[in-house]
Amino acid sequence: MTAIFFMATIALYLGGTAFSSAYLSRRDDTLAKIALGVTGVGFLMHTVALLARVVEAGPESLVSFHDALSFFAWALVLVFLWVDVRHHIHVMGSFLLPLALLSLIWAAALPKETSAPMLKTVWVHVTLSMLGTVGFAVAFAAGLMYVIQDGLLKSKQFNVLYSKLPPLDFLDHLNQLAIVTGFPLLTLGIIAGALSAEVARGAYLNWNPEQVWALVTWAFYCVVLLGRITVGWRAKRAAYLTIIGFGGVVLTLIGVVLKGHGAAL
Amino acid sequence: MHIIVVGLSHKTAPVEVREKLAVPESRLDEALARLRSYAGIKEGFLLSTCNRVEVYAVVEQIEEGHARVHEFFSDTHLALSSEQLTPHLYGYTGDRAIGHLFRVAASLDSMIVGEPQILGQLKDAFEVALNHKASGVVLNKLVRKAISVAKRVRTETKIAETAVSVSYAAVELAKKIFSNLSEKTVLLVGAGEMAKLAAQHLVDQGVRKVSITTRDAASAVDLARRFNATSIPFDHFRHEMAEADIVLCSTGAARYLIGVEDVEQAVRRRMNRPIFLIDISVPRNIDPAVKDIDNAFLFDIDDLETRVEQNLEERRREAVKAEQMVDEEVGQILHWLKSLEVTPTIVALRHRAEAIKQAEIEKALARLQNLSAQERSVVEGLASGIVNKLLHGSLVTLKAESTSGGGAMFIEAARRFFGLDDPTAAGRPGDTSSAAALDEPDSAEPGATRELSEQHPAGKRQT
C-alpha cells in the first residue's frame, strides 16, 4: 500500500516538474496552475505514504536514508506550495520541484530497510538535518534564480523568463531567510547526531569522511551567514555562495549513502 | 429597433476637428437632451474624450437615424458645415456598432492600445446618460456589457500589463529589482522632463523618499517642494549616492557626471545592496562602463525605448486575443437583442402559460378522479379562463408598447416576469420559474434590476 502511494507520488511530482518546466517558456499561467494542482495531489499522496511509514515502523523508521530523502522531498514541496499559494511566485516550482523529484527518485533506488538503529533517538538527528537541508535547497534555488535574473538584467534580455522571475531583492531576501532558518536546524541536527554517537559509541566524532564533510558544510554556511551580516555578502555573492554550499550538501549526502545509509552514525 | 454609432476619433479626424465637437462634462446634460429631441432617436449615449466623440443611439430607422446623428454633430458646432464634417465621421449599425463599442471600452481602438483611461471615461459618460435617462434598456445593457467585456479583456489578456512609455518602463524595471518600492529612496539628478515624469511615477507607486540635486540650486528647491523631497547640493551628490536605491539622471551636461568609481564606492557603502541607475540624458551622463559593476544596474534611454517597443509588440499580440473575445461577446449580446423582438416574446409567453395550465390541470384531475366528462371540461375551462384573462392585458400592452420608445423595456420586463429566458423553467411550470429567471447571471449583476425601475418614468412619458 505504502509502495503504491509512493510510486503515485513520484508520478505526480514528475508531472508537476514537467508542467512547471514547460511553464518557463510559455507566456500564460495555465501550465503553472496545472503544475500546482498536480503537485498538490502528489503532496497529499506523499503525506499519506510518509504517515503510513511512521505508523508501520514508528518515527525511528526515518533513520533509513530512503525515508530521510523522502521526507526531504516532502518538506521541499511544502515550501513550494506555500510560496506558490501565498506569494503567487509560480516560477519557484520550476526550480524546487526538480530537486524534490530527484531526491524522491534517489530514495526509490535505495533499500527501505536498515539495520535497527543503535539508538532510538537517531531520528531526531536525521529529521533536523534534513529540515536544515531543505533550507539550503531553497537558498540554492533562490540563488540560482538570482544569478539568472541578474544576468538577464545585465545583458538586457527582457525575455519570458525575465518576466516570470521575481524581483532581485525578493530573491536575496528569500535566500537569507532560507539560510537563517536552515542553519540553526542543521546545527541542532549535528548536535543531536553527536550526542547520539556519544551515547552509542562513547565519542562525539569519529572523523569519518561524511562527518568531516558535514562539519565543513556547516562551517561554510556559518561563514556565509556571518559574511552577510558583517561585510555585506549579499545579493550576487550570496547567491553564488549558496549555490556552491548546496553542492557541498549534496556531496555529504552522497558520502553518507556510500558509507551505508547513515547507519554508521 | 436598431443600434447605431456615429462618431469620429483620432483615427479619422485631426485634433482641430475633434476639439470643436468635444462636449465638456458640464455641457453633457444639455447635449444629451438635444440628442434625444431628434425624432426617431429612442435612446442615446454620448462619449466625448480627447481622442473621440461618439454617439450611440437606438433608432427606429437605420438611415434616418444616421442622418439625425449627423445633424446632431453639425449642430454641435456652428463653424463646422456638414460637408466639412462628413468625411471624418464613421458610422456602424447593429453588430458592428456593438463590436465598436466593446472595442472602444476594451481600449482596442485607443491611440495606445490597452491604455486604461478610456474605461473610466466611458463609465462617467454612462453615469451622465443614466442620470439624464437618455439611455434606456438597450443601451444600458450594451454599455454595462461593454464595461464587463473591457474588464474581461484586462484580466484575461496582458494587454494593459506592460509599460509603454519610457518613464513608466523605468518604473517597471525598478520593480524587477526591488519588490517593495515604498521603502526605497530615489535620487533625481537634474531636472529633465522624462526623469521628473519617471520620479512622479515612482512616487505614485509608493516611493516615499526622494532627494533632488540640480546644478541650479533654485530649481532644486522648486522640485523638492513638488516631490516633498530634500534637495542636495550638486557638488557632493556623489557622496549621497549610497543612500539612493534608484538614481534618475537627466541633465544637460555634455560629459559623464557619474563615473565607475562613484558607483563602485556607492555599492561598497551600500554593503552590496543593488543600486538601479537610469540615465535618460542625451548625451549620456553616466559612464556606460558602470554596467559592469556587480550589483549596479544601469539603463540608458535606448534600453528603455527597446523595452517600450517590446511591450508594444506584446500588446499587439494580446490585442488579437482580445478581438476574439469581443467577437464572442457580441454574439452573446445579439442573442439577447433578438429576444427583445415582440413576436417571439408573445409566442414564448403563450407557450409558457399553456405549459403551466396543462400541468396544473393534470395535477388537479389526478386528485379528482371521479369527475364526469362535463365536470372535467368545467375544470379545464376554469383554468383556461383564468390564464387567458390574465394574459390578455399583458399581451395587448406588449403589442401596443412594442412600437413605443419604451418597448424594449416592456419586452424585457415580460421576459423576466415570466422567466422566458430560463430554459429549465419550461419543463417545471409553477411557482419557481420566475424566481429562477431572476437568478440568471445578467439579472444578478448589480443595477440590472435598477434599470427597469429607473427607466419606467421615461417610458411612461413617451407613451
For cell 473610466, what's the residue?
B120
Q: How far apart are CA B8 and CA B87, in angstroms?
A: 10
Farthest CA pair distance, chain B: 112
pLDDT value of position B26: 84
Q: How far apart are CA A149 and CA A162, in angstroms?
A: 6
Per DSSP, A116 falls in state P
Could A170 and B179 be called an inter-chain contact, meaning their C-beta atoms sit closer than 8 Å?
Answer: yes
For cell 491604455, what's the residue?
B115
For chain A, the C-alpha Rg in angstroms (whole number) is 19
Vertex B235: Cα angle to B229 and B240 (nearest 5): 50
Q: How far apart are CA A43 and CA A72, in angstroms?
A: 12
Distance, in angstroms, between B303 CA and closest chain A CA? 7
Q: Bigger pLDDT: B458 or B165?
A: B165
DSSP string, B325-356: HHHHHHHHHHHHHHHTSHHHHHHHHHHHHHHH
Per DSSP, A117 falls in state P
Cβ atoms of B129 and B273 closer than 8 Å: no
pLDDT value of position B400: 77
SS3 A265: coil
Q: Bigger pLDDT: B403 or B22?
A: B22
pLDDT value of position A56: 77
Nearest CA in chain B to A174: B179
**What is the ipTM for the molecules in this complex?**
0.85
Closest by CA to B36, choosing from B75, B69, B76, is B69
Cβ atoms of B184 and B178 closer than 8 Å: yes
Sign of the C-alpha dihedral computed for residues A198, A203, A208 and A214 taken in this order: positive
Report the percentage of chain B scoring pLDDT > 70: 90
Q: What is the mean pLDDT of residues B130-159?
A: 91
Nearest CA in chain A to B292: A154
Q: Inter-axis angle of helices A91-109 and A65-87, to 10 degrees?
A: 170
pLDDT value of position B405: 59
Q: CB-hemisphere CA count at 13 Å for B252?
A: 5
DSSP string, B264-312: HHHHHHTTT--EEEEE--SS-SB-GGGGGSTTEEEEEHHHHHHHHHHHH
Cβ atoms of B43 and B129 closer than 8 Å: no
DSSP string, B218-279: HHHHHHHHHHT-EE--GGGHHHHGGG-SEEEE----SS-SB-HHHHHHHHHHTTT--EEEEE
The DSSP bridge pattern shows strands B296-300 and B209-213 to be: unpaired
Cα separations (Å) of B221 from A103, A175, B211, B226, B230? Answer: 61, 41, 10, 9, 8
On the question of pLDDT at B368 being above 50, the answer is yes
A244 Cβ contact list (under 8 Å, min separation 6): A220
What tens digit of pLDDT does each residue of B209-257 get?
Answer: 888 988 887 778 888 888 888 888 888 888 889 999 999 998 888 889 9
Indicate which of A88, A158, A175, A231 best probes the interface with B, i.e. most B CBs within 10 Å of its own CB.
A158
Could B271 and A170 be called an inter-chain contact, meaning their C-beta atoms sit closer than 8 Å?
Answer: no
For the beta sheet containing B209-213, the strands, ordered from the edge strand earlier in sequence to the opposite edge, are B230-231, B209-213, B185-189, B246-249, B275-279, B296-300
How many whole angstroms from its chain centre is CA B423? 31
Closest by CA to B168, choosing from B315, B49, B10, is B315
Cβ atoms of B184 and B177 closer than 8 Å: no
Could B297 and A153 be called an inter-chain contact, meaning their C-beta atoms sit closer than 8 Å?
Answer: yes
Chain B residues with beta carbon closer than 8 angstroms to that of A237: 272, 294
Place A59 in a pLDDT band, splitting at 50, 70 and 90. Answer: low
Q: How far apart are CA B423 and CA B312, in angstroms?
A: 45
Cβ atoms of B137 and B408 closer than 8 Å: yes
Size of interface A-B (CB pairs under 8 A): 53
How confident is the prediction for chain B on average, in pLDDT?
83
What tens digit of pLDDT does each residue of B246-280 get?
Answer: 999 988 888 899 999 999 999 999 988 999 999 98
DSSP string, A8-67: HHHHHHHHHHHHHHHHTT-SSSHHHHHHHHHHHHHHHHHHHHHHHHHHHH-GGGGGSHHH
Indicate which of B155, B159, B176 best probes the interface with A, i.e. most A CBs within 10 Å of its own CB.
B176
What tens digit of pLDDT does each residue of B382-409 get?
Answer: 999 998 888 888 888 887 777 665 677 7
Q: What pTM was computed for the model? A: 0.70
Q: Is A86 on the interface with B (CB under 8 A)?
A: no
Q: How far apart are CA A242 and CA A228, in angstroms?
A: 12
Chain B residues with beta carbon closer than 8 angstroms to that of A169: 177-180, 273-274
Q: Bigger pLDDT: B293 or A201?
A: B293
Sign of the C-alpha dihedral computed for residues B37, B40, B41 and B42 taken in this order: positive
How many whole angstroms from its chain centre is CA B92? 19
pLDDT value of position B74: 86
How confident is the prediction for chain A on average, in pLDDT?
86
Q: Number of helices and strands (H, E) in chain A? A: 9, 0
**Weakest-pLDDT range from B1-15, B65-79, B181-195, B216-230:** B216-230
Distance, in angstroms, between A223 CA and closest chain B CA? 16
User: Cell numbers at residue A256, please?
Assistant: 553518507
pLDDT value of position B217: 78
Q: Bigger pLDDT: A152 or B116?
A: A152
Q: Bigger pLDDT: B394 or A119?
A: B394
Cβ atoms of B409 and B452 closer than 8 Å: yes
Q: How far apart are CA B57 and CA B36, in angstroms?
A: 9
Q: Select which of B50, B282, B390, B444 is catalytic.
A: B50
Q: Is A237 on the interface with B (CB under 8 A)?
A: yes
**Weakest-pLDDT range from B59-73, B409-423, B438-452:** B438-452
Residue B50 appears among annotated catalytic residues:
yes
What tens digit of pLDDT does each residue of B418-451 get?
Answer: 887 776 654 444 443 333 333 334 433 333 333 3
pLDDT value of position A204: 78
Q: CB-hemisphere CA count at 13 Å for B112?
A: 14
Neighbours of B165 (CB within 10 A): 18
SS3 A77: helix
First to last CA, chain A: 30
Find residues 12-41 of chain A whose CB sits inside 8 Å of chain B.
27
Report the percentage of chain A scoring pLDDT > 70: 92
Could A236 and B306 be called an inter-chain contact, meaning their C-beta atoms sit closer than 8 Å?
Answer: no
First to last CA, chain B: 16
Could A235 and B303 be called an inter-chain contact, meaning their C-beta atoms sit closer than 8 Å?
Answer: no
On the question of pLDDT at A148 being above 90, the answer is yes
On the question of pLDDT at A47 being above 50, the answer is yes
pLDDT value of position B430: 43
Q: What is the mean pLDDT of residues A72-80?
A: 93
